Chains A and B, each alone.
Chain A
Amino acid sequence: MATETLHLPTQSLPVASDQKMAVSSRANAPQSGNIHPFEFTGSAGEYFRIWMVNLFLTIVTGGIYAAWAKVRTRRYLYTHTRLDGQAFEYTAKPTAILKGNLIVGAGVVLYFLIDLYWPTYNLITILALYLVMPLLIYKSLRFNTRYSSFRNIRFQFMGSLKESYKTYLGLPLLIPLTLGIIIPYWAYRRKKYFFDNMAFGVSGATFKGAAGHFYKIYGLILILAVSLVFLYMIGFGLLISQLQGTMKSMDGFGTSIVYAIMIGYFLVLLVITFMQQYLYVRENNYCWNETNLGELRFQSSLKVGKLLVIRLTNLLAIVVSLGLLIPWAKIRRTRYILENLNIITSSSLDEFTAAIEPDESALGEVAADFFDFEVGL
């Protein structure tokens, strides 16, 4: 790959002149522009070493290093993600994440104590968690975007706390009332909350997606799930009647059922994995393709089949290697996802402006960052 040389300043200049040519030809084809692919230059070996050192230091320090580990992992993934010759940057301070971890840790200890001493109040703690969840999601999105930058311009999350409560507390409450009909709409609103509120410097993103598309995606998942349950029940019924005919002893019968359940479990796992990847690919492609950053557009072209093969081989590798291949798997998946993401723009990437933002309060610096939002970048 040519990525090692792309970042050299002398070679980033010709790229700019290419863009000027693209601008002149723009009049004929208004939809086209220069395509800049995302590149991922991370390597499994390097990432494995970082992962191992993180694991060791986290254990030896009794979990304190986890905050530094998170920053080092993120920094590795960000700085090895390149666009038009320049790398992304993750600039969060580990101490802010440590604060967040300590708060979460205290919460978990409190939960265990309440569970042990006053089990009747359990429901209240779970309720409290539901109530603060939208706040935590909002904080987490703000934190992670604020400390992500590209070409020394920070990203920003412009969504409001009120919108977070509507999206993550209000809508889920309506799900049982509407018999689940609004689930795709809820997915749409969650994506909209993220994609419509992202900003790069002063340039805010707009998400033009519509809820209808999510109904298509989820409809297919539903059909698949229902037919799966149906097939599984038929298969299981057939198997039992077959076995009852041939097997005389109860012992053999029991063992066969155990095997049948195990095979069934793997089949279900396979189909669930397929559904997850399908959902991820369809949602991800749609959301990126419907998002604009000023005149700049995104293009994501992931394939369900490819991502499924990557996921399944990754799972197999992780199990066979007793977890040692987790970093390899992560790099492989990240590479596939990023290398299928492009931006299309007819102007140069040189023209974005930084936003003037006041520094957040000390409380705002606390990373409420323990839900791994899979949003790409």
Chain B
Amino acid sequence: MIRFQATYFDGQTSKAQAVVVGYDGQHLSLHSADGNIQLRYFLKECVITPASGHAPRIIKLPDNQQFESGDLNAVAALEVEAGGNRGMRAVHWLESHWKPVAGCLAGAMLCVWAFIVHAIPFLAEKAADAIPPEITRTVSHKTLSVLDKRFFEPSELSAEKKTDIQNLFQTIADALQVDFQYQLAFRRSPQIGPNAFALPAGIIVITDEIVELAANERELASILAHEIAHVEKRHGLRSMLQHAGVFFVVSVLAGDITSITSTAGTLPTILVESGYSRRFETEADEFAGRFLIGQGWGTQPLQDMLQRLAASHPDFPSLTWLSSHPDIQQRIENLRKLEHSHIP
């Protein structure tokens, strides 16, 4: 026998009426002191709504009636008798204890970490393979035309210089046995300064400024090899897809799509994505480094080039080639290590 006090609402009016609720093992009965309310239902016919914090519990009766009770122990006992609601009872148990909640925190962090570090890059690589080349081509041309409008002016390099670079590029591409059809695009950009970009379909943009910055052909070759690596390993498409993946994770974590645009969503997104781009830069540096070692030049040309680029961008970290300033020293260090590991 379970007995407790409750407030009854008939569902027709907002009138609150005090009742005493009793459970005899089969029926739930409600009685008011003045005798106006005399109700009896099978417990099966009633719905015990899930618990929430320390709020009073609400039990739904047939015909839109319900009662509310602050006697949480009694309602919990009734809930056990009724047997249903297992899922939500488990959730409420989790919500009511600190230790499982700490477990949830650890579990959530682990899942997010694993997803960001392993699952997103893996899925993005698979998806990049599935995207047809025509799409890649249209996207690349579109991107180039956008960049042309906003940042670039026509190149002022002499025709001979361009031919020299074309030839240099061809030798590198032949030596690397590349899979893509490449196209070199020469542009001048006082706004961006010395830089080079690789677009997914094999368009490699180099600025006049970086050609002028390179001290010799080897340094220029090191940049071209680095950009070829970005194309061959589909870094462009993969980072686009990874961006979509991060967008998904942040939207799940934030609980809805609209909050992505808010500042709270931006910082973690930037951090995660700079991590991804660092990984791609390292990969491209290694690729270029191996090519240089294979040519018998060692990794010195790329190291020198990085050093020069860092010096030419004193304060403002630029995108693509230099993702951030302190990284440059790390990248140079990596190239040095790569060269040492190749010495027989």
Nearest neighbor of A85 in chain B, beta-carbon distance = B16
Q: List 10 A-B contacts (CB under 8 A).
A: A4-B70, A12-B16, A43-B54, A46-B95, A53-B94, A53-B101, A56-B105, A59-B107, A152-B10, A370-B258
If A8-B70, A43-B53, A350-B15 touch, does A69 touch B255 (CB 8 Å cutoff)?
yes
- Within A336-351, the residues touching B (CB, 8 Å) are 349-351
Interface size on A (CB < 8 Å)?
A: 65
Q: CB of B14 within 8 A of chain A?
A: yes
Not counting A7-B70, A66-B252, A72-B52, a sample of 20 additional A-B residue pairs whose C-beta atoms are within 8 angstroms of each other reads A7-B56, A9-B7, A10-B5, A13-B18, A41-B54, A46-B95, A53-B94, A56-B108, A56-B111, A59-B107, A76-B55, A79-B52, A89-B58, A119-B139, A151-B15, A152-B9, A152-B11, A153-B14, A255-B315, A351-B15
A9/B16 in contact, CB under 8 A: yes
Cα distance, A371 to B255, chains bound together (Å): 11
Taking CB atoms, residues of chain B closer than 8 Å to A351 are: 13-15
Q: Closest Cβ of chain B: how far from A65's Cβ, in Å?
A: 9
Q: A68 contacts which chain B residues (CB < 8 A)?
A: 91
Name which residue of chain B comes closest to A269, CB basis.
B263
Nearest Cβ on chain A to B56's Cβ, whole angstroms: 5
Question: Inter-chain contact count A-B, CB under 8 Å?
Answer: 164
Q: Which of B7, B108, B244 contacts A52 (CB 8 A)?
A: B108
Q: How many residues of B contact A (CB 8 A)?
A: 57
Indicate if A42 sits at the interface (CB-CB under 8 A). Answer: yes
Q: Quick check: A372 and B108 within 8 Å, CB to CB?
A: no
Q: How far is the CA of A132 from the CA of B6 in the complex (A)?
A: 45
Determine if A254 is an interface residue (Cβ-Cβ < 8 Å): yes
Q: Please report which residues of chain B, range 252-279, place their CB below 8 angstroms from some CB of chain A when the two chains form the complex.
A: 252-253, 255-258, 264
Instruction: State whether the Cβ of B223 lies closer than 8 Å to any Cβ in chain A.
Output: no
Sorted nearest first, the 4 A-B pairs with minimum C-beta distance are A9-B18, A152-B9, A254-B315, A56-B104
Contacts of B73 on A, CB cut-off 8 Å?
none
Q: List A contacts of B138 (CB < 8 A).
A: 119
A42 lies within 8 A of B53 (CB):
yes
Task: Please report the C-alpha to C-alpha distance between residue A250 and residue B314 in the assembled complex, in whole angstroms.
Answer: 9
* Cβ of A79 to closest chain B Cβ, rounded Å: 4
Chain B residues whose C-beta falls within 8 Å of the C-beta of A76 in the assembled complex: 52-53, 55
Within residues 66 to 97 of chain B, which ones have a CB less than 8 A from any CB in chain A? 66, 68, 70, 91, 94-97
Cα distance, A7 to B13, chains bound together (Å):
18
In chain B, positions 313-331 with a C-beta closer than 8 Å to chain A are 314-316
Whether the pair A119, B142 counts as a contact (CB closer than 8 A) is yes
Q: How far is the CA of A10 from the CA of B32 in the complex (A)?
A: 11
Bound CA–CA A55/B255 (angstroms): 8
From A46, A59, A75, residue with most partner B Cβ within 10 Å = A59
A353 to B258 Cα, complex, angstroms: 37
Q: Which residue of B18, B55, B66, B252 has the most chain A CB atoms within 10 A of its CB atom?
A: B55
In A115-164, the 8 Å CB interface with B consists of: 116-117, 119, 150-153
Query: Shortest CB–CB separation between residue A43 and chain B, in angstroms?
Result: 7
Residues of A within 8 A of B256 (CB): 370, 372
Residue on B nearest A354 in the bound complex, by CB: B12
C-alpha gap A57/B252 in the complex (Å): 11
Determine the residue in chain B with the shortest Cβ distance to A107.
B257
Please give, as numbers and ranges, the residues of chain A lying within 8 Å of B142 by CB-CB distance.
119
